[in-house]
Amino acid sequence: MAAEMRDASESDAADLWIAWDEYRHAIERLALLVHESGWKFDQILCLARGGLRPGDIFSRIFDVPLAILSTSSYREEAGTAQGELDIARHITISKGTLGGRILLIDDLVDSGITLERVQRHLSEQFSTVTKVKTAVIWYKACSSVVPDFYLEYLPTNPWIHQPFEEYDGLRAHQLAARMKGDKPFK
């Protein structure tokens, strides 16, 4: 069954609930923060899955190529417990190779392990990368890494309930049942 999404007004020190409009607006505000810093970058590298949406929007706003690196650590207990970090062997990019000044984007930094290990991976595997700066929407106090750009510092380290989590437990047959009777988009 799909995760129940709550209203942002139900957020507290332990749980931060984010609605779709808030999520989109947070990405835009982070993009503005990066823009106003004056830092110029050649490419965006987003970490899948959490960084896919911010990375896509940043790539469109800044009109720079988007590269994707799959990472995964939240697989345990239906995605609510961090396990061993896996980093994909290859980076996907539609044109050329990864190089120059890179803006590394993820949705959040929790322990900091992912950002730390990915930056080490880039320095060891991609000699053409000259500079990496990081950008996240949410920066938790428990992180061992301070991102270069972040929108919101979270001193209580809440669990962040993002709007797309409703799909984590939703299967195609459940979607079909839910949408039965809905009018198609025109």
pLDDT at 4 over 60: no
Q: Can you give the pLDDT at residue 5?
A: 56
CB 59 within 8 A of CB 93: no
Mean pLDDT, residues 110-116 taken together: 94
- Do the beta carbons of residue 32 and residue 42 sit within 8 Å? no
Q: What is this structure's pTM?
A: 0.86
Lowest model confidence (mean pLDDT) among 111-115, 152-156, 179-183:
179-183
Q: What is the pLDDT of residue 167?
A: 87
Query: Could you tell me if residue 85 is left (phi over 0), alpha (psi between -120 and 50 degrees) or otherwise beta?
Result: beta
Structure tokens at 130: 């000259």
pLDDT in tens, 33-66: 999 999 999 999 999 989 999 999 999 999 999 9
- Model confidence over 137-169: pLDDT tens digits? 999 999 999 999 999 999 999 999 999 888 888
CA 30 to mean position of chain CA atoms = 12
- Report the Cα–Cα distance between both ends of the chain, in Å, rounded: 28
Instruction: Identify the pLDDT of residue 170.
Output: 87
pLDDT tens, residue by residue, 60-72: 999 999 999 998 8
Name all contacts of 68-72 with Cβ < 8 Å and 24+ positions apart.
Answer: 68/92, 68/93, 69/45, 69/118, 71/47, 71/114, 71/118
The single residue listed with the structure tokens 């880039």 is 122
Task: Return the residue matching tokens 């110029």.
Answer: 40
Give the contacts of 130 (CB within 8 A, at least 6 positions apart). Answer: 99, 100, 101
Q: pLDDT tens for residues 84-106?
A: 788 888 899 988 899 999 999 99
Taking the C-alpha atoms of residue 22 and residue 156, their distance in angstroms, rounded to an integer, is: 20
pLDDT at 10: 73
Q: What is the mean pLDDT of residues 5-19?
A: 80
Task: Quote the CA–CA distance of 115 and 87 in Å, as a whole number.
Answer: 11
